[in-house]
Structure formats: C-alpha cells, structure tokens
Copies of this chain bind each other. A is one copy, B any other.
Amino acid sequence: MKQSHLFTRTRREAPADEVAKNAQLLVRAGYIHKEMAGVYSYLPLGLRTLNNIIRIIREEMNAIGGQEIVMTALQDKALWERTDRWDDAKVDNWFKTKLAVGGDTGLAITHEEPLTRIMAAHISSYRDLPAMVYQFQNKFRNELRAKSGVMRGKEFMMKDLYSFAKSSEEHEAQYAATRAAYIKVFKRFGLAKRTYPTFASGGVFADFSEEFQTVSEAGEDTIYVDEEKHVAVNKEVLTDEALAKLGLDRARLVEKKAIESGNIFHLGTRFSEALGLAFTAEDGTKKPVIMGSYGIGVTRMVGILTEVFADEKGLVWPAEVAPFAMHIVSLGKKGDEISKTADALYEDLVKAGVEVLYDDRELRAGEKFADSDLLGIPRRIVVGKDAVATGDFEVVERVTGEVAKIPRAELFS
C-alpha cells in the first residue's frame, strides 16, 4: 500500500485523554481511534495487525480440530436466567436494553450459555463427541474504569473456544491440546519467554484455574514466577498450602507485574446440566457433556504486544503480527531517479507477494524516518541516492536498529 493513499496520519503528541502507553502509541500511529473510554475503532494499520493476530490463533485452533462459528452480541435473557447469570446482583457488568417487541436483552459478556444451547440442538449421541468449537467475537462489559487502553475495554474481541467431551479422559485430552496450542500461539506472538502458565483461583472443578500471564510493567496482576519451571502463581492463591500442592518453593519465586493474556477453564457439567446438553452413552444411559472454555483476548493482544515491544521511538511488531513486512521509505521527489527506483522496487515486491507499505510522500527524510519508527514495521528499506548508484539498499531492522546494505535480489528472499 502506498502511504500517500493511506488516510490515517501520525501525530507527534500523545492524546491528552489517554494514560495507557498502548493507547497513546496506537492513537499516535493512527492504528486505532478512541470512540469513548474503553471503546476503540481499528483503522487500516490496526485492522491489519488485528487480522494477523486472528489468523495466527485461527490456524492453531484449526490445527487441534476447532470448528469456527460466530455467535451474537444480543442475548436471550431467559437463557441466562437458567444458569443464574442474568441478575445484576450475580453478574454486575451487563449492558442491558429493552426490545421494541417487549422484554429485555443484554450484550454478551461471554458465550458459554448460547453455545451450550446450540450444541444441545446438535449433540445427542456419544458418536457426536468430542467437539471443539470457537469464535472470534466481541464481548461487552460495562466496566467502571477503562484506563488500560485496548487492554481492558467495554467492547473488545476475544477468541473463545469451548470443548465438549463424553468422559473426563476425553476432556483432559482436549484441555491438554488447547493448552499446547496456546503455548504455540504465544510463541508466534514472540511472547513465549515472558508468558507463564499461571495457577490462579476460580477453579470450581479443580484446585486452581490456569491463566496465561504475560510479564509487563503495564500489567494489573501480580504473579510469582518460577523461572526454571516456567510457571507462575497468581498472588491471589499464594499460600503455603497452595505452594505445597503445586510443588513450588517460595524461595525460588520472583514477583512480577503481568497481564492476563489467556485463560483455560474446566467447566465440568455446570452449563450442560443447567441447559440440558446431554448425550446417550454407548451403554444407553443419558449423561451430561463435560465442557471446557479457553479464551484469548484478541484486541487485548494488540495492547500487550505494544506494551511489551514498543520503545521510545514507537511501535515494534513481531514479524508475524506486523501490518506489513517491509516499509519502503523513498527519499526522492516525484519523477526523479530515486522515486523511479522506489516505485519499481515497490511494484516488484508486491508482485512477489510481499506485504509492503511504501512511503511515497514528499516529506523531509527526518519526518519520514520518525513516522517509520512510530509505525513499527519490522524492516525499513531506504531508497536514496546510494541505492540508485549502487543497486544496494539500506535496510534497518526495527527491533535492533541494525543497518545493513543489501543487494536488491536479496530483498525478495
């Protein structure tokens, strides 16, 4: 894409109404637009980034046999009453509204209830199990505070996968497969090292629930990390009794700030029993389906990656997530040799299937480099007099700042 065509503009100053580093940088770089506190639109560069995050997660969920669907924001009150999660006294962050035809509806805070009902319409026999179903869908939560930018929104996208099993063994296998897929996802985000499987509270069907916590100064959680075992314990369950159960030694734990990047839950039969999701077993008996749920915050991930990788110059994206792989910065003026060289390189790279942003604007070099740093595309290719004279291009790696002269042909490899 030519940058002269891209409608978004960068800003030098951080917006006054944003306190989170992620929102400040993403707004400055033109990736997002703030509609209201905790509500953000995704502009072309932001949407490309988001779509790469979605693609990575989708590939890993498909690889373990996940079937993709998409549910709805509007929710049926009667359904949520059956699991006792409609009442504001029980769940306090619903957005609720009235139907013109009469009655109430609410905006999905999560989707266990509607999916359990969907599955009840399709699953009846042990032959129909196991199944894993997922979606990318917005959730709505009526948050009081929204000071963490895209990391905690009132409207945000999650990937949520739900597993359905006919036995505990089958459920454990699904749980293990999804857990392993999550580790792959975080690896592809470049977050493997700083993301810890973390024991936390909330385990109704086990002693603990499991979260994935990514270490970041912007995190709202405190975790205690065992570096060697690459696991952590959430502060909320840090007791001697818990540590004994987990086989962890308090002396080896290091306190860190972290942000929850994923969570995985054993749901047991809570939802299937309440909503009538049962199957006929091989022996002819009726049994409730055993469920699990597995979430990753998709828009939150945009924020986490920003918090973790951005530097004083701007955004820095891991290769698989970046909105473009390369950023050509031309120092030429319309019609001169430099511009022609840059044009040709751009066209050839696009033909070769490389995702390229091409800064073809007539601005001072310093301004263009500052913009390029702010946008955070992994490799910058500078097209100046040198490139025209030698056929070699100056390539700057955004992460390291390393500069190299690279022959044209090698840019395509």
Whether A44 pairs with B72 at a CB distance below 8 angstroms is: no
Beta-carbon contact of B97 and A97 below 8 Å: yes
- Chain A positions 65-117 with a Cβ under 8 Å from a chain B Cβ: 65, 67-76, 93, 95-101, 105, 107, 114
Q: What is the CB-to-nearest-CB distance from A403 to chain B, in angstroms, rounded to a whole number?
A: 31
Interface residues on A, range: 35 or more
The 8 Å CB contact of A72, one of B41, B47, B99, B121, is B41
Q: Does A126 touch B at the CB level, under 8 Å?
A: no
Q: Mark A120-153, 1 if CB is under 8 A from B, else 0.
A: 0111000010010100001010111000000000
Q: How far is the CB of A340 from chain B (nearest CB, A)?
A: 21
**At the interface, yes or no: A118 with Cβ under 8 Å from chain B?**
yes
Complex interface residues of chain A between 287 and 325 (CB less than 8 A to chain B):
none
Chain B residues, Cβ within 8 Å of A399: none
A7 touches B67 (CB 8 A): yes
A345 at the interface (CB under 8 A from B): no
Closest residue to A138 on the B side, CB-wise? B73
Residues of B within 8 A of A5 (CB): 65, 67
Q: Does A159 contact B (CB under 8 A)?
A: no
CB–CB A69/B96 < 8 A: no
Please pick, from B42, B67, B69, B95, the residue contacting A70 in the complex, using a CB distance under 8 A: B42
- Dominant secondary structure of chain A at its interface with chain B: mixed
Q: Does A39 touch B at the CB level, under 8 Å?
A: yes
Number of chain copies forming the complex: 2
A73 pairs with B70, CB closer than 8 A: no
The answer to whether B35 and A76 touch across the interface, beta carbons within 8 angstroms, is yes
CA distance A75 to B74 in the complex (A): 16
Q: Do the beta carbons of A33 and B97 come within 8 Å of each other? A: no
Are B100 and A43 interface neighbours, CB within 8 A? no
Collect the chain B residues with CB atoms within 8 Å of residue A138's CB: 73
Task: Say yes or no: A75 contacts B114, CB within 8 Å.
Answer: no
Is the Cβ of A97 less than 8 Å from the Cβ of B95?
A: yes
B67 A36 Cβ-Cβ under 8 A: no
A6 proximal to B (CB < 8 A): yes
Instruction: Flag if B30 contacts A122 (CB, 8 Å).
Output: yes
Chain B residues near A95 (CB, 8 Å)?
Answer: 74, 97-98, 105
Say whether A7 contacts B42, CB under 8 Å: no
Report A228 CB to chain B, min CB distance, Å: 40
A43: which of B69, B99, B101 is its contact (CB, 8 Å)? B69
In the complex, which residues of chain B have a beta carbon less than 8 angstroms from the beta carbon of A222? none
25 interchain pairs (CB within 8 A)?
A7-B67, A7-B122, A7-B123, A7-B128, A7-B131, A7-B133, A9-B128, A35-B74, A35-B75, A35-B76, A39-B72, A39-B74, A40-B72, A41-B118, A44-B68, A44-B69, A47-B70, A93-B100, A95-B97, A95-B105, A97-B97, A99-B154, A100-B142, A101-B144, A107-B107
14 further contact pairs, Cβ within 8 A, besides A7-B128, A97-B97 = A5-B67, A7-B119, A7-B123, A8-B122, A33-B118, A39-B74, A41-B70, A41-B71, A41-B72, A41-B118, A42-B70, A50-B70, A93-B100, A96-B97
Binding site for B on A (CB under 8 A): 5-9, 30, 33, 35-37, 39-44, 46-47, 50, 65, 67-76, 93, 95-101, 105, 107, 114, 118-119, 121-123, 128, 131, 133, 138, 140, 142-144, 154-155
